[in-house]
Amino acid sequence: MLSSLQTSGRIQVFGRGDNPSNYVSVIDVAALVERVVTAERLGNREIVIGGPDTLTFNQLATIAQDVAGRRATVRHIPRPVLRAMSHVARPLNPQLARQSRGAVVLDTIDMSFDPGPVRREFPDLPETGVREALQKLLDRQAPTPTHNRNKAK
């Protein structure tokens, strides 16, 4: 969404955009992976992590605009179009077909998650919210200032 917002001034939301999804930052996932790899006695088990934010795509679009400090036109791609794209694109662009099918799933299945259990087990893990993660992404993309190496004589 940030990339599209910055390049075209538009944001695309697949489907209605009202279905909740839990967002977890790569920062948080990396911290958990480090813990699992370096800790003793965690056992052979699955550990599921989630982030602090459960949001809809419409809410995410609003947050992306707030963080970027820029308003955008939000364009919804209807589910029937996504379903058609998943079939039509399959022989020509299998990746687009998979993404279209995935977008239908994200728009129809409740993807909310309770991060409480893993957060209680690992209370020192970072808990990076969507706003903070997006801001860090924007900060990384910002051009670094260059210094004029030609000194006046």
Enumerate the domain spans of the chain: 2-78+111-141
Share of the chain above pLDDT 70, in %: 93
Token readout for 139 is 């900060």
Task: Judge whether residue 119 has pLDDT over 70.
Answer: yes
Mean pLDDT of 5-19: 93
Tell which residue, 113, 118, 122, 126, has the closest CA to residue 27: 126
Query: How confident is residue 144, by pLDDT bands cut at 50, 70 and 90?
Result: low
Query: How confident is residue 152, by pLDDT bands cut at 50, 70 and 90?
Result: very low
Provide CB contacts within 8 A for 19, sequence distance 6+. 56, 57, 106, 107, 108, 109, 110, 111
Number of continuous H segments (helices) and E segments (strands) in the chain? 7, 4
Pairing of strands 21-23, 53-55: antiparallel
Give dist(CA 51, CA 152) in Å, integer: 52
Task: Judge whether residue 64 has pLDDT over 80.
Answer: yes
Give dist(CA 153, CA 122) in Å, integer: 59
Alpha carbon 49 to its chain's center: 14
Helix (H, G, I), strand (E, B) or coil at 68: helix
Tell which wins on pLDDT, 135 or 45. 135
Task: Judge whether residue 149 has pLDDT over 80.
Answer: no
Report pTM.
Answer: 0.82
Superfamily of domain 2-78+111-141: NAD(P)-binding Rossmann-like Domain (3.40.50.720)
Give dist(CA 110, CA 64) in Å, integer: 21
